[in-house]
Amino acid sequence: MTAASDGTRPVDAVTARVKAVYGGWRRSTPVARMRADWDGLFGHTPAGVAVEPVAVGPLAAEWMRAPGTRRDRAVLYLHGGGFQVGSPLSHRELMAAISAAAGCAVLGLAYRLAPEHRFPAALEDAVAAYGWLRAAGFAPGRLAFAGDSAGGGLALSTLLALRGKGQALPAAAALLSVWTDLTASGESYRTRSAADPIHQRPMIQAMAAQYLGEDGDPMDPLASPLFADPRGLPPLLLQVGDRETVLSDSVAFAERAQAAGVAAELQVYPDMIHVFQQFPRDLPEARAAIAAIGDFLAAHFDKDED
């Protein structure tokens, strides 16, 4: 990792930008402002990428298509943001990069957010979006899931819900800094507390409480996939930074999945922060990780030609 002329490392520079947004929030900050701030931080659309708004039933969504991508394969992307902030806009740059790397279109879903819409609203929306893609003509082998943080956990929950309904599952799923345990019980909340510049256990627990509401159970497998039986899930790629307090969420789930016979690959990136892949213009590690995501997804799509 190369430092700037002033000695600042790229990862520290992007961390400072994220913390500047977090630092402006107070308990009294309206959620609408938080969402606008988050979109403003990440809402960059790369040149040459086609952005097509589309209605997925009652929900807004965006197709992201990098130049030269195929239209017979698609990735359903579920954005992060603690189930309270984030949108297709905040994840355009990341989705565009995944589109280019995987050689296919990416559909970013604006699923319903808490506190207006608590669990299981987001899960219902993700399941419905998969049905919408199937109805649009995409076979399961031509579909994949991807998501970061809360969206990564939502991707896993969606796979579990589809499996419970007896539906055919997509070809694969890529999970970035995935949040699998809403109880925040992993050992990395202790061992990475000093290293993680952004997320600490109280914040994670507060986001979980907002998502679940008073009557929600943080150990519900459809809210916390770590507590689910992962048997029968498709191949998974889990990427996480070594500085993250949610490191254990990826490590523990990968271990459970592997023990259950799931092809789960875990990639831990030294010195990286939460969802570092959102900074491909700044971090070579982000570009390398996105390339690995593209290779993984492309390798698992159905290879039959139309």
Backbone region of residue 86 per phi and psi (left: phi > 0; alpha: psi in -120 to 50; beta: other values): left
Q: DSSP per residue over 2-71, as a string?
A: ---TTS--HHHHHHHHHHHHHHT--TT--HHHHHHHHHHHH----TT-EEEEEEETTEEEEEEE-TT-EE
Which of these is catalytic: 149, 188, 248, 250?
149
User: Cβ–Cβ contacts within 10 Å for residue 295, how many?
Assistant: 13
- Tell me whether residue 224 is one of the annotated catalytic residues: no
**d(Cα 41, Cα 59) in Å, to the nearest integer?**
23
Provide CB contacts within 8 A for 92, sequence distance 6+. Answer: 42, 43, 44, 45, 46, 49, 51, 62, 64, 108
Distances (CA, A) of 180 to 28, 149, 220, 226: 28, 8, 11, 5
Distances (CA, A) of 36 to 31, 73, 140, 191: 9, 31, 34, 33
Catalytic residues: 149
